[in-house]
A and B are shown apart, each in its own frame.
Chain A
Amino acid sequence: MARFKLYTAIFVVLMGLSTTQAVVERTGMVDFDAPGTYWTAFGVILVLSFVKATFVATYYMHLRWEPRSVTYLFLGGLFVALALTTAAAYSIL
């Protein structure tokens, strides 16, 4: 079954990306006293999380095969959460 192979490949990718996140930490880039490398690592690691989440939602949660509106529904929730977090954090900067 083609889907089965696809799901397995995605599983391998997900495990690999998680390991990569830990590796980035191991290389010493997550250094609080060196803002340059810290914020780079911060960005890399979070982008990897978004990539992983997108894979899970798209394939394991079958969003790819649902009407686009379901994706918008989910993104609506995400947008609300992000708006609250960023605006609140910005208000005290």
Chain B
Amino acid sequence: MSHGEAGGHDFPPTSSVKRWFVTTNHKDIGILYTITALFFLVLGGVLAMLMRVQLWSPGASVLSAGAYNQAVSAHGLLMVFWFISPFAFGFANYLVPLQIGADDLAFPRLNAMSYWAYLFSGLLFIASFFQGGTFDGGWTMYAPLNLPTYMPNIGGTTVVLALIMFIAAVTMGSVNFLTTMYRMRAEGLRMRDLPMFSMSILLMVWMMLFAFAALLAALMILAAEHLFGVTYFSAEGGTLLWTHLFWFFGHPEVYIVFFPALGIMAECFQTFTGQRIVGRKWFVLAMVLVALQSFVVWMHHMFLTGINLEIKTLFMITTIGISLPFDLMVFSLIYTMIKGRIRFTTPFLFSLGALILFIVGGITGVFLGAVVLDYEFRGTYWVVAHFHYVMVGGATGLFAGIYYWFPKMTGRMYDEFLGKVHFALYFVGFNLLYFPLFVAWETPRRVFDYAPGLTSWHQVASIGGFVLGASFLVMFYNLFVSLATGEEVGENPWEYSTTAEWVVSSPPPLENFPGKPSYSGGKLSFRDEPELTADGSGDDEPAGSPSTDGGTTTDGGLASEASETSSDPRSDGGVRTEGAATGGTGLVSDPGTATPAAAGTGTAHGGGPHADHASFWPFVVCFAGFLTFLGVSGIQSGGAYLGLTAVGGLLSAVGFVGFASESFYVPEPTVAEQWPFGGVENMKLGMWTFLASDVVLFGGFIGSYLFLRVANGWIHWHHEFVPEAHVTFPGLVNTYLLLASSFAVVLSLVAAHRNSRRGVVASLSVTWLLGVGFLINKGLEWQHLFHVSTDAFPNGWNVGTNVASSTFYLTTGLHGAHVVVGLIMLLYMIPRAWRGAYLDDDSSIEYFGLYWHFVDIVWLFLFPLFYIL
């Protein structure tokens, strides 16, 4: 029986190329993320090599000044955004559902979409190299260097758009992980008992959700500055505004990058010392504390700016304060080693290396956190060295992860000797590269010329750079060869590993577990499905602790049967469905699943429709997004770019309609630990989480307006920059319209409850009309303002006239765009309501309402801030 025959469940095996374009399975996506991230590591690494060649001697001219600036900027951006976090995301995707006992993430298609958005954002970045030069304003993208005046290349704009697309990927991922980790944990698994790696990912996605939203605000403004000529960052206070927005993201980003490494280090220390993390509770508490604190230290990057001394002092204190919880974590790791018995495997060596590098990076960072020392070191190679010890130190932890989980992901062992060779070359190369930079700290950052006296240090660094680069050839060779010829491993090659991924086969089956994972007995065990238990062929006897291989024996021979019927038994889980359907277990004796119809759609986990694992639409939507963004980047130059934008826009529409109308079934677990969000369905929690990040996005826009207004003088702003005092009326009308539309959405829910199809259609239509009315009123108002003619503004008041017009149009414009998105959703919902879709289940209306009311709430603040005060 082929898969196609099995209930139309068409899921190709891993050997098929098609599989990788349609898969929504978290393990597949994890592998895609990992491989793509390694590709960007190589790309960023090559750029770094170019820089080290240039720095071989002072004033060398291998690269032109412009090319050097581009290499520096692209290296930084690619490594920070497209390599290190996505690399961790790869592990997170693969392992978090396994560690918490879930079948998949809460929103599998959104997960696929997140990956494709990530990949295409990276391709967009690569495209920028071919548009007359890529971004060259440094990875911090400081204003005014990031402005079109200094960066007229289309490529510079493309990079900004690529980052926006990347953040879209990150936000989808964060929402997905948060929903999954809060709502789909195995029975008995409390939040505080999450395995260390999952815990670190939980905190990472929390930080991502908020930090990246702030960066998104900054980048959307920057894109508008490039595309529409608004003036934020070129205005009075504008450069400072950029640094605030950027570092509000940028500092948490350090921990976003480092936390997964910390999680992996903790796991490896536990496994390879046979010792539970000493003071685990305190370790976790310290991580939570750091995650919170990371949002209140950002101004330590701004000690050299004109911010006032009180706040510098305050931020110096918060910054130095953050090293305390880190000390606790470091001592806990060291003490774990002392108490345990160490086995020096490759993953352990990389974990230990990461710890050492991080200690050096941490200590040298304290210098930069102190205001007075920072005056001396800012803008020098001290910062470069410190930064690389921290960030590449984090990457070192991630390389521990790749060796640690390679056997789990591939079913084969890597070569331990080559692994150790990699580590030796890596560690020596790393220190040769970065330690001399502390000594040659007087080298100015971002400049390729330096004092001749520092030459020998730079030459040592360049040699180290090449050793570090070469070490990866060993890694790639090792992993590639082991993939085919490595020794096969069972579930668990590591003694003393404790987490749930090690009890399932390597690689794990499609839906992860042979039964329902449960921690309610204090340890991980598998409960068979009720059908099995009722039949008596299975019972809920614990399968033993994870370090034994008992886990897979409870599946009643399912796995072995599966392997007989499959060409690719390891990872093609569709086969397990067949195994169940062909009756290897007591499943067939259950009346609910014994019918022929159910045999096709039943799952190994019991009756009911089978979870879907394939969709082509995420790929289509993100490819369309790529075309659109590429077109928009050069839209001012017209021609082919206009065509590209149109094609991209059209394909996006097709993609979204396809995505929305595809039937895609994802079961929500019936027995799961859901504190503190029990009773909130996955979709609802996902929507709320997304809205929480949207609050920060709007907060960034409104905050920017307030900041610039303070910087330009609150009253002066009103007198100098605005043509008409107190234009309250159009704003008030729009407030009425939006409030009425919100009320109409509420009425549609009431109508759904009363089972009135007409009522639902009518109230949704009224919502739509009121929304359109809102946009018309806004359009009229804008038209009026564009053509205002006063002594001060003879040419009208348009987007780029001054900082007040820019903030006004862009902020209300972003809000208007939210309204437009809501109206498009309504256009999809109203015909469905006409066919009676929401009468039995009004949850879609409710989720739409959450979005619409939120947009309403934002307006409740825009109204006074832009129209009255």
Do residues B863 and A1 form an inter-chain contact, with CB atoms below 8 A? no
| B695 contacts A by Cβ under 8 Å | yes
Do residues A93 and B695 form an inter-chain contact, with CB atoms below 8 A? no
Task: Flag A54-93 by CB within 8 Å of B: 1 or 0 each.
Answer: 0011001110001111100110111011111101111111
- Residues of the B chain whose Cβ atoms lie less than 8 Å from the Cβ of A67: 676-680
Select the stretch in B156-164, B328-336, B475-483, B685-693 that faces chain A. Answer: B685-693
Do residues A77 and B691 form an inter-chain contact, with CB atoms below 8 A? yes
- Residues of the B chain whose Cβ atoms lie less than 8 Å from the Cβ of A19: 732
| B853 contacts A by Cβ under 8 Å | yes
Q: How many Å lie between the Cα of A84 and that of B245 in the bound state? A: 8
Do residues B719 and A22 form an inter-chain contact, with CB atoms below 8 A? no
Which partner residue on chain B sits nearest A44 by CB separation? B864
Do residues B295 and A91 form an inter-chain contact, with CB atoms below 8 A? no
- Closest Cβ–Cβ distance, residue B242 to chain A (whole Å): 11
Do residues A73 and B692 form an inter-chain contact, with CB atoms below 8 A? yes
Partner of A85, one of B296, B302, B702, B850: B702
Partner of A56, one of B248, B729, B857: B857
Known contacts: A22-B728, A81-B699. The answer to whether A32 contacts B311 by CB under 8 A is: no
Do residues A53 and B860 form an inter-chain contact, with CB atoms below 8 A? yes
Do residues B295 and A56 form an inter-chain contact, with CB atoms below 8 A? no
Interface positions of A from 1 to 50, Cβ below 8 Å from B: 1, 3-4, 7-8, 11, 14-15, 18-19, 21-22, 24-26, 30, 32-33, 41-42, 45-46, 48-49
Known contacts: A32-B719, A92-B711. The answer to whether A74 contacts B692 by CB under 8 A is: yes
- Closest Cβ–Cβ distance, residue B245 to chain A (whole Å): 8
**Main SS of chain B's interface residues?**
helix
Interface centre among A14, A21, A52, A91 (most CB of B within 10 A): A91
Do residues A93 and B710 form an inter-chain contact, with CB atoms below 8 A? yes
Interface positions of B from 232 to 280, Cβ below 8 Å from A: 237, 240-241, 244-245, 248
Task: Flag B722-754 by CB within 8 Å of A: 1 or 0 each.
Answer: 000010110010011001101101110010011
Do residues B248 and A84 form an inter-chain contact, with CB atoms below 8 A? yes
Partner of B864, one of A14, A26, A49, A85: A49
Do residues B700 and A84 form an inter-chain contact, with CB atoms below 8 A? yes
Which partner residue on chain A sits nearest B751 by CB separation? A4
Do residues B850 and A61 form an inter-chain contact, with CB atoms below 8 A? yes
Do residues B677 and A30 form an inter-chain contact, with CB atoms below 8 A? no
| B338 contacts A by Cβ under 8 Å | no
Known contacts: A18-B739, A61-B850. The answer to whether A45 contacts B869 by CB under 8 A is: yes
Which partner residue on chain A sits nearest B243 by CB separation? A88
- Residues of the B chain whose Cβ atoms lie less than 8 Å from the Cβ of A88: 241, 244, 248, 703, 707
Known contacts: A73-B689, A77-B693, A88-B707. The answer to whether A57 contacts B857 by CB under 8 A is: yes
Number of interface residues of A (CB under 8 A): 54
Do residues A61 and B849 form an inter-chain contact, with CB atoms below 8 A? yes
Q: How many Å lie between the Cα of A93 and that of B245 in the bound state? A: 17
- Residues of the A chain whose Cβ atoms lie less than 8 Å from the Cβ of B706: 85, 89
Do residues B237 and A4 form an inter-chain contact, with CB atoms below 8 A? no
Which partner residue on chain A sits nearest B674 by CB separation? A67
Do residues B677 and A57 form an inter-chain contact, with CB atoms below 8 A? no
- Residues of the B chain whose Cβ atoms lie less than 8 Å from the Cβ of A61: 849-850, 853-854
Known contacts: A15-B739, A67-B678, A69-B676. The answer to whether A3 contacts B750 by CB under 8 A is: yes
Q: How many Å lie between the Cα of A33 and that of B736 in the bound state? A: 30
Partner of A66, one of B680, B732, B750: B680
- Residues of the B chain whose Cβ atoms lie less than 8 Å from the Cβ of A53: 857, 860-861
- Residues of the B chain whose Cβ atoms lie less than 8 Å from the Cβ of A49: 860-861, 863-864
- Residues of the A chain whose Cβ atoms lie less than 8 Å from the Cβ of B735: 18
- Closest Cβ–Cβ distance, residue B789 to chain A (whole Å): 23
- Closest Cβ–Cβ distance, residue B760 to chain A (whole Å): 14
| B307 contacts A by Cβ under 8 Å | yes
Known contacts: A21-B864, A53-B860, A80-B699. The answer to whether A92 contacts B692 by CB under 8 A is: no
- Closest Cβ–Cβ distance, residue B228 to chain A (whole Å): 24
Which partner residue on chain B sits nearest A45 by CB separation? B864
- Residues of the B chain whose Cβ atoms lie less than 8 Å from the Cβ of A91: 240, 244, 299, 302, 307-308, 311
- Residues of the B chain whose Cβ atoms lie less than 8 Å from the Cβ of A25: 726, 728, 868
Task: Flag B846-869 by CB within 8 Å of A: 1 or 0 each.
Answer: 100110011011001101100011
Do residues B299 and A87 form an inter-chain contact, with CB atoms below 8 A? yes
Do residues A92 and B240 form an inter-chain contact, with CB atoms below 8 A? yes
- Residues of the B chain whose Cβ atoms lie less than 8 Å from the Cβ of A41: 869
- Closest Cβ–Cβ distance, residue A26 to chain B (whole Å): 8
- Residues of the B chain whose Cβ atoms lie less than 8 Å from the Cβ of A22: 728-729, 732, 868
Partner of B692, one of A56, A76, A84: A76
- Closest Cβ–Cβ distance, residue B266 to chain A (whole Å): 25
| B135 contacts A by Cβ under 8 Å | no
Q: How many Å lie between the Cα of A92 and that of B302 in the bound state? A: 12
- Closest Cβ–Cβ distance, residue B513 to chain A (whole Å): 27
Interface centre among A11, A74, A88 (most CB of B within 10 A): A88
Which partner residue on chain A sits nearest B726 by CB separation? A25
Do residues B295 and A83 form an inter-chain contact, with CB atoms below 8 A? yes
- Closest Cβ–Cβ distance, residue B406 to chain A (whole Å): 36
Q: How many Å lie between the Cα of A76 and that of B689 in the bound state? A: 10
Do residues A30 and B743 form an inter-chain contact, with CB atoms below 8 A? no
| B591 contacts A by Cβ under 8 Å | no
- Closest Cβ–Cβ distance, residue B739 to chain A (whole Å): 5
| B214 contacts A by Cβ under 8 Å | yes
Known contacts: A56-B856, A73-B692, A76-B692. The answer to whether A92 contacts B750 by CB under 8 A is: no
Do residues B753 and A1 form an inter-chain contact, with CB atoms below 8 A? yes
Do residues B311 and A56 form an inter-chain contact, with CB atoms below 8 A? no
- Residues of the B chain whose Cβ atoms lie less than 8 Å from the Cβ of A7: 743, 746-747, 750
Q: How many Å lie between the Cα of A68 and that of B678 in the bound state? A: 11
| B522 contacts A by Cβ under 8 Å | no
- Residues of the A chain whose Cβ atoms lie less than 8 Å from the Cβ of B692: 73-74, 76-77
Q: How many Å lie between the Cα of A81 and that of B299 in the bound state? A: 15
| B778 contacts A by Cβ under 8 Å | no
Q: How many Å lie between the Cα of A41 and that of B864 in the bound state? A: 11
| B91 contacts A by Cβ under 8 Å | no
Q: How many Å lie between the Cα of A90 and that of B210 in the bound state? A: 21
Do residues B703 and A81 form an inter-chain contact, with CB atoms below 8 A? yes
Do residues A60 and B742 form an inter-chain contact, with CB atoms below 8 A? yes
Known contacts: A7-B743, A77-B691, A77-B695. The answer to whether A85 contacts B707 by CB under 8 A is: yes
- Residues of the A chain whose Cβ atoms lie less than 8 Å from the Cβ of B747: 4, 7
Do residues A15 and B746 form an inter-chain contact, with CB atoms below 8 A? no
| B698 contacts A by Cβ under 8 Å | yes
| B718 contacts A by Cβ under 8 Å | yes
| B17 contacts A by Cβ under 8 Å | no
Interface positions of B from 661 to 710, Cβ below 8 Å from A: 676-680, 685, 688-689, 691-696, 698-700, 702-703, 706-707, 710
Do residues A82 and B732 form an inter-chain contact, with CB atoms below 8 A? no
- Closest Cβ–Cβ distance, residue B636 to chain A (whole Å): 31
| B715 contacts A by Cβ under 8 Å | yes
| B306 contacts A by Cβ under 8 Å | yes
- Closest Cβ–Cβ distance, residue A92 to chain B (whole Å): 6
- Closest Cβ–Cβ distance, residue B387 to chain A (whole Å): 23
Which partner residue on chain A sits nearest B753 by CB separation? A1
- Please list the 4 inter-chain residue pairs (A to B) with the smallest Cβ-Cβ separation, ordered nearest first: A81-B699, A85-B703, A77-B695, A77-B692
Pairs across A and B, CB under 8 Å, 9 listed: A14-B739, A48-B864, A60-B742, A61-B850, A62-B846, A85-B707, A88-B241, A88-B248, A91-B308
Instruction: Name B's A-contacting residues (CB within 8 A).
Output: 210, 213-214, 237, 240-241, 244-245, 248, 295-296, 299, 302, 306-308, 311, 676-680, 685, 688-689, 691-696, 698-700, 702-703, 706-707, 710-711, 715, 718-719, 726, 728-729, 732, 735-736, 739-740, 742-743, 745-747, 750, 753-754, 846, 849-850, 853-854, 856-857, 860-861, 863-864, 868-869
Given A60-B745, A77-B694, A84-B696, 11 further pairs, Cβ under 8 A: A18-B863, A22-B732, A48-B864, A73-B688, A78-B699, A81-B699, A84-B248, A84-B700, A85-B699, A91-B299, A91-B302
